[in-house]
Chain A
Amino acid sequence: MAEAQKNPVPVGSTTAGQIAVAAESTVATRMSAPPSFDVADFPVPHGREEEWRFTPLERLRGLHDGTAVANGTGVKITVEAPEGVLVETVGRDDARLGKAGVPVDRVAAQAYSAFETASVVTVPKETVLTEPVRIAVHGEGGVAFGHQVIELGAFAEAVVVLDHTGDAVFAANVDFVVGDGAKLTVVSVQDWDEKAVHAGQHNARIGRDAHFKSVVVTFGGDLVRLYPRVEYAATGGEAELYGLYFTDQGQHQEHRLFVDHNTPHCKSNVAYKGALQGDDAHAVWIGDVLIEAKAEGTDTYEMNRNLVLTDGARVDSVPNLEIETGEIVGAGHASATGRFDDEQLFYLMARGIPEHEARRLVVRGFFAELVQQIGVQDIEERLIARIEEELEASVA
Chain B
Amino acid sequence: MATLEIRDLHVTVEADNATKEILKGVDLTVKQGETHAIMGPNGSGKSTLAYSLAGHPKYTITSGTVLLDGEDVLAMSVDERARAGLFLAMQYPVEVPGVSVSNFLRTSATAVRGEAPKLRTWVKEVKGAMERLHMDASFAERNVNEGFSGGEKKRHEILQLELLKPKVAILDETDSGLDVDALRIVSEGVNRVRESGEVGTLLITHYTRILRYIKPDHVHVFAGGRIVESGGPELADKLENEGYEAYVKGGPVSGANSKEGAA
Indicate the member of B93, B97, B143 with the most A CB atoms within 10 Å: B97
Choose one: A341, A349, A365, A367; the contact of B78 (CB below 8 Å). A349
- Complex Cα–Cα for A351 and B103 (A): 13
Q: CB within 8 A of A344: which of B77, B78, B96?
A: B96
A residues 345-382 touching B (CB-CB < 8 Å): 346-355, 357-358, 361-362, 364-369
Asked if A342 is at the interface of the complex by the 8 Å CB criterion, the answer is yes
Per-residue interface assignment for chain B, residues 157 to 171, with 1 indicating a CB less than 8 Å from any chain A CB and 0 otherwise = 000100010000000
B94 surroundings in chain A (CB, below 8 A): 341, 343-344, 346-347
Q: Is the CB of B143 within 8 A of A365?
A: yes
Contact assessment for A365 and B96 in the assembled complex, using a CB-CB cutoff below 8 Å? yes
A residues with CB within 8 A of B: 341-344, 346-355, 357-358, 361-362, 364-369
Hey, which chain B residues are within 8 Å of A358, CB to CB?
79
Q: Are A347 and B96 in contact (CB under 8 A)?
A: yes
Interface CB pairs A-B, < 8 A, 5: A344-B95, A347-B96, A349-B55, A351-B108, A353-B107
Q: Which residue of B lies closest to A367 (CB)?
A: B98
* Residues in B neighbouring A351, C-beta threshold 8 A: 82, 104, 107-108, 111-112, 160, 164
Which residues from chain A contact B107 at a C-beta distance below 8 Å? 348, 351, 353, 357, 361
A342 touches B98 (CB 8 A): no
Question: A363 to B56, alpha carbons, bound, how many Å?
Answer: 21
Is residue B99 contacting chain A, with contact meaning CB distance below 8 A? yes
Known: A361-B96, A362-B96, A365-B96. A350 touches B143 (CB 8 A): no
Which positions in B face A, CB cutoff 8 Å?
54-57, 77-79, 81-83, 88, 90, 93-99, 103-104, 107-108, 111-112, 143-144, 160, 164
Complex CA gap A369/B146 in Å reads 14
Give the docked Cα–Cα distance between A362 and B112 (Å): 19
A350 & B82 in contact (Cβ 8 Å cutoff): yes
Interface contact A342-B57, CB-CB below 8 Å: yes
Interface residue from B54, B79, B93 paired with A355 (Cβ < 8 Å): B79
Asked if B164 contacts A352 (CB within 8 A), the reply is: yes
CA distance A63 to B54 in the complex (A): 55
Is the CB–CB distance between A350 and B98 below 8 Å? no
**Nearest Cβ on chain A to B66's Cβ, whole angstroms:** 15
* CB pair A346 B99 closer than 8 Å: no
Report the separation of the CA atoms of residues A343 and B78 in the bound assembly, to the nearest whole angstrom. 12
A373 to B251, CA, bound (A): 58
In the bound complex, CA of A335 to CA of B22 (Å): 37
Given contacts A342-B57, A346-B57, A365-B143, is CB(A353)–CB(B79) below 8 Å?
A: yes
For the complex, what is the distance from the CA of A355 to the CA of B97, rounded to whole Å? 17
Instruction: Give the interface SS of chain A, mostly helix, strand, loop or mixed.
Output: helix
9 closest A-B pairs by beta carbon, nearest first, are A365-B98, A351-B108, A352-B111, A352-B82, A368-B98, A349-B78, A347-B94, A352-B112, A365-B99
A354 to B110, CA, bound (A): 11
Extra pairs beyond A351-B107, A352-B112 (8, CB < 8 Å): A349-B79, A350-B78, A350-B79, A351-B82, A362-B99, A364-B99, A367-B98, A368-B98
Most chain B beta-carbon contacts within 10 A, residue among A358, A364, A365: A365
Asked if B96 and A350 sit within 8 Å, CB to CB, the answer is no
CB–CB B104/A348 < 8 A: yes
User: Could you say which of B96, B103, B104, B112 has the most chain A C-beta atoms within 10 Å of its C-beta?
Assistant: B96
Chain A residues lying within 8 Å of B103, measured Cβ to Cβ, are 361
| Residue among B55, B98, B103, B143 with max Cβ neighbours from chain A (10 Å) | B98
Inter-subunit contact A347/B98 (CB<8 Å): no
Whether B54 lies near A350 (C-beta < 8 A) is: yes
Distance, CA A369 to CA B97, complexed state (A): 10
Distance in angstroms between the alpha carbons of A347 and B57 in the assembled complex? 12
CA distance A290 to B104 in the complex (A): 41
CB of B198, distance to nearest CB on chain A (Å):
17
Complex contact B97–A366 (CB within 8 A): yes
- Give A369 to B160 CA distance when docked, in angstroms: 25
Chain A residue at minimal CB-CB distance from B78: A349
Query: Are B108 and A369 closer than 8 Å at their CB atoms?
Result: no
Docked-complex contact A347 and B111, CB < 8 angstroms? no
Interface contact A365-B97, CB-CB below 8 Å: yes
User: How many angstroms between the C-alpha atoms of A362 and B94 in the bound complex?
Assistant: 12
Most chain B Cβ neighbours within 10 Å, of A342, A346, A354, A366: A346
Known: A342-B57, A357-B107, A361-B107. A352 touches B79 (CB 8 A): yes
Contacts of B56 in A (CB 8 A): 346
Q: Are A347 and B93 in contact (CB-based, < 8 A)?
A: yes
